Amino acid sequence: MLVLARKKGQVIKLGPDISITVLDIRGDTVRLGVDAPRSLPVHRLEVYTEIEQANQEAAQSNITLEGLTAFKLSGPH
């Protein structure tokens, strides 16, 4: 793990397209601004973990193509 020290207003670059700016520091809280291409998802770890869990649960579901078709044909939901 690379460890960097930055002050308010300073920037960290990740390649040519990603910048992380220290916006504010208050006590033990640091506010960061992330400038990245829209094609690159950026999430807090707890949100990313929830997305991964939801994806794993969806992948393990027993939904079939026939079930989806029947659901769609049964009308608005």
Ordered by start, the domain boundaries in the chain are 11-73
Of residues 74 and 9, more confidence is placed in: 9
Residue 64 has what pLDDT?
Answer: 81
Q: What is the pTM of this model?
A: 0.70
Residue 77 has what pLDDT?
Answer: 62
The neighbouring-strand residues paired with 13 are: 19
Main-chain dihedrals φ then ψ at residue 41, nearest 5 degrees: -65, 135
Question: 42-65, pLDDT tens digit by residue?
Answer: 999 999 999 999 999 888 888 788
15: left (phi over 0), alpha (psi -120 to 50) or beta: left
- Please state, in angstroms and rounded to a whole number, the distance separating the CA atoms of residues 18 and 11: 10
